Amino acid sequence: MPEAPVIIDVQDVSKLFRVGKVEAVALQDANLQIHDGQFVSLIGPSGCGKTTLMRLVADLIEPTSGRITVAGKSPKEARAAREYGYVFQAPALYDWRNVLANVMLPLEIMGWPKGERRARAEEMLRLVGLEGFHRSYPWQLSGGMQQRVSIARALAFDPKLLLMDEPFGALDEITREVMNFELLRLWRQTGKTVVFVTHSIAEAVFLSSHIVVMTARPGRIREIIEVDLPYPRDHETRESERFFELTTRVREALRLGKEGEGAVGGAASVGGKGAGGPAKTLAKVGY
Amino acid sequence: MAARVSGTRPVGAVFAWHPHVPTLVMLCVAAAGLFGPFVTGGGAKLLEGGGLAIGCLALLVAALVPSGFGGPWAVPLATPLAVSAAFLALLAQRGLAGPAGWGYWLTLLGSLAAAATAAGRVSVIELESDAPRWQHRVQRLVPAATVAFLVLLAWEGLVVGSRVPKGIFPRVSDIWLAFLGTWRVLLADAYLTFVKEVLFGFAVGLTLGFLVGSAIAFSRFLQRGFLPLATAFGAVPIVGLAPVLGRALGVDWESKAAVVVIVTFFPVVLNTVQGLTLVDPLKLELLRSYGARPLTVFLKLRVPNALPYVFNALKVAVVVGVVSVIVAEFLIPGPPNGLGQRISLSAHRGAFDIVFAAILVSSLISMALYWAVGLLERAFTAWHPSTRGS
């Protein structure tokens, strides 16, 4: 099967933060390739650098060393070319704009013609199931609805990539499951590449085509697990034996990472789209 | 029926142990007063009472309208009618023939109690949520208006009863007459004070404050160099500078407008800086992820974020500005115009009725200004938690 092109290429990337005289290694020697159309989750304990990695890709911060390529460009160029939409941990909606105007915000900034902005924003709100709420203000919506608006906003300008930093972390379990279904539907409908940061093993297994397991202190990529559950996934997926095996695997990888055995910077590549077969570790140990 | 009159609590929970006691006490006081001597050693009792007696009777009727009588209309309408009738009757009364007797004081007390009881009955009416809007409005307005009236009634009654000369402390009716006699002059004064001095100074102070605040928000140097100075300057009693400004800018309206500019400028600068810089970092990063230019960030994020802060500064500045300009007119004696000058000159002449009339006019305009700023705030920051409820 032909491999989809690499859309995110992370090579030997490290990031140090300096707080006073103390230096903290947020990310060390990360290597990762994400291919077009994949749904990749970054999972790991707090401080493992998953958000840092995502922010490096988005050019919200700059790496201390190493090289990142996004859609064939440097992160800075990719940001200027609006290659990605970013969904933050909080919805970050503008309180003074109603739902429709919030979704139109990126289109205004990117200079879309007025009529098109409106049509496009209405289409996006239909996509996330918020047709009746154009005139509502953010504070009138529930947390789940606010996060839907922010997803609609991230998709509005049709970026190649969707970067999602724990978007459902603040939601209750029930809303979260609903949002997971919605996100999978959106992903399959739009064919975007999604990078998704999460703390939840079940969420990562349910959503992803590939899971990047990370370890803390220093932040490293430990292992990449391919999730071979077939799409579309539904409630039965969650109850299948394979789902159970995969969550156990992720859990074990996380636990091993915590014990710090053999976790030396990982050179890893996420397999091409549609690569089947049993879950396998594509790369575990570098150097 | 849209309104239901609950007759069990005429005044409030304090008297809930027996609902009719306050009404009875009030009745006894008023009745004793009406038949007692209004003037020490006077003759025909009820006739001497004049306006106060008529007012007292009107208020008693309003306070004693049976709850079930005339449907939901009677009590809410009787109260304002009686209150205005009593007020007009009392205003028409021109002094007492001699020193006030105990009948006078008891009637005054009874009137105040009757008015309070009537207003209390309006405020405990339980309206259905779908009652017409005027009923809700009456319920909100009548008690508040009655309390204001109680103050005026007590004022008028005390001054009349103790026979204080007009030159020391005027009656409410004196002030009203003074206003009727001088309103053209007072309005001309108000135009000078409020339009030329306050509004102009306000507009200049706001514009300058916002521009300087924006400059500070974007300059590390100004933030470190200017901001601490501006914060400290906020504590300076600027009105004290009024004579200096008068010398520098002339005794006409310009120097007084300058005082308003200064008292508006500093709070606006400080709040603008806060509003422009205390921005949710996620909202900033969002714009960064769109590759937005700094001007876009300023217009689409920082300015809307700053609006509630700036309006807070404006509400403070309106109040302080009016006080400052009146005091500045005291301190910079110039042409004899302006409300501050009017107050100062009239006080020197002992014309305290005009002093109060001028204070009345400036209070009303000042309230209107504050209200207008509040209205603008609600129009511009309806989304903000501080305004979204209303």
Higher pLDDT, B42 or A121: A121
- Looking at the structure, tell me whether residues B229 and B136 fall in a common domain: no
pLDDT at B41 over 70: no
| Interchain proximity B286–A88, CB inside 8 Å | yes
A58 touches chain B (CB under 8 A): yes
For A56, nearest residue in chain B (alpha carbons): B289
* Token duo for residue B7: 């007759």
Task: Tell if the CB–CB gap between A96 and B285 is shorter than 8 Å.
Answer: no
Q: Write the pLDDT tens digit of every residue in B142-189.
A: 778 888 888 888 888 888 888 888 778 888 888 888 899 988 988 888
Q: Which residues of A touch B384 (CB under 8 A)?
A: 95-96
Minimum distance, in Å, between the CA of residue B318 and any CA atom of chain A: 25
Query: Which of B280, B289, B388 lies closest to A139 in CB terms?
Result: B388
Contacts of A137 in chain B (CB under 8 A): 383, 388
Whether B195 and B67 map to the same domain: the answer is: no
Residues with Cβ within 8 Å of A129's Cβ and at least 6 positions away in sequence, in order, are A148, A182
Determine the average pLDDT of the residues in B343-358.
88
| Structural domain contains residue B316 | yes
Tell me what pLDDT residue A43 has: 94
Pairwise CA distance, residues B224 & B48, whole Å:
74
Could you tell me the pLDDT band of residue B19, with boundaries at 50, 70 and 90?
low
Residue B277 belongs to some domain of the structure: yes
Q: What is the pLDDT of residue A105?
A: 94
Q: Is residue B191 part of a domain?
A: yes
Q: Which residues of A83-103 are buried (b: 16+ CB within 10 A; e: fewer)?
A: bbbbbbbbbbbbbbbbbbbbb
Are residues B157 and B185 located together in one domain of the fold?
Answer: no
Residues B286 and B379 in one domain: yes
Do B154 and B272 lie in a common domain?
Answer: no
Which chain B residues touch A86 with a CB distance below 8 Å? 285-286, 289
pTM of the model: 0.77
| Residue in A80, A92, A95 closest to B384 by CB | A95
Instruction: Give chain A's residues under pLDDT 50.
Output: 1, 261-268, 271-287
ipTM: 0.82
Instruction: Say yes or no to pLDDT of B22 above 80.
Output: no
User: B283 and A92: CB-CB below 8 Å?
Assistant: yes
Count of beta carbons in the 10 Å neighbourhood of residue A248: 12
Contacts of B290 in chain A (CB under 8 A): 82, 106, 109-110, 157
Residues B220 and B124 reside in one and the same domain? no
Is B168 within a domain?
no
**In chain A, residues 191-250 whose CB comes closer than 8 Å to chain B:** none
Q: For B315-331, write each residue's pLDDT tens digit.
A: 989 988 898 888 888 88
Domain end, chosen from B110, B129, B163, is at B163
Cα of first residue to Cα of last residue in chain A, in angstroms, is 29
Domain boundary pick from B163, B187, B214 = B163
Q: List chain A domain ranges.
A: 1-83+160-287, 94-158
B301 vs A: CB within 8 A: yes
Domain total in chain B: 2
Cα–Cα distances (Å) from B111 to A241, B88, B151, in that order, read 86, 14, 12
Domain that holds residue B132: 3-163
Paired with A33 in beta bridges are A9
In sequence order, the 6+-apart residues with CB closer than 8 A to the CB of B117 are: B10, B11, B22, B23, B26, B63
Q: Does A95 touch chain B (CB under 8 A)?
A: yes
Residues B356 and B225 in one domain: yes
Q: Which of B341, B324, B325 is nearest to B333 (CA)?
A: B341
Q: Is A73 on the interface with B (CB under 8 A)?
A: no
Q: How many CB pairs under 8 A join A and B?
A: 53
- Same domain (yes/no): B155, B68: yes
What was the pLDDT predicted at B57?
81
Q: Taking 80 as the threshold, does the pLDDT of residue B2 lie above it?
A: no
- Distance (Å) from the C-alpha of residue B132 to the closest C-alpha of chain A? 27
Token couple for B108: 């005054």
CATH of the domain at B309: 1.10.3720.10
Same domain, yes or no, for B311 and B348? Answer: yes
**B289/A90 touch (CB, cutoff 8 Å), yes or no:** no
Quick check: B180 contacting A, CB < 8 Å?
no
The predicted model gives B226-239 an average pLDDT of: 78
Quote the pLDDT of residue B388.
66
Contact status of B291 with chain A (Cβ, < 8 Å): yes
Choose the CATH number for A1-83+160-287 among 3.30.70.2190, 3.40.50.720, 3.30.70.360, 3.40.50.300: 3.40.50.300
User: Which of B279, B282, B283, B297 to mutate to probe the A interface, most A CBs <10 Å?
Assistant: B282
One domain, residues B155 and B178: no
Interchain pair A92, B384: CB under 8 A: no
Interchain proximity B285–A60, CB inside 8 Å? yes
B64 exposed, middle or buried (CB, 10 Å; 0-12, 13-18, 19+)? middle
pLDDT at A178: 85
Going along chain A, which residue ranges are E strands? 6-19, 22-35, 39-43, 65-70, 84-87, 161-165, 193-198, 210-215, 220-226
Residues B178 and B152 in one domain: no
Question: By the CB < 8 Å criterion, does A96 face chain B?
Answer: yes
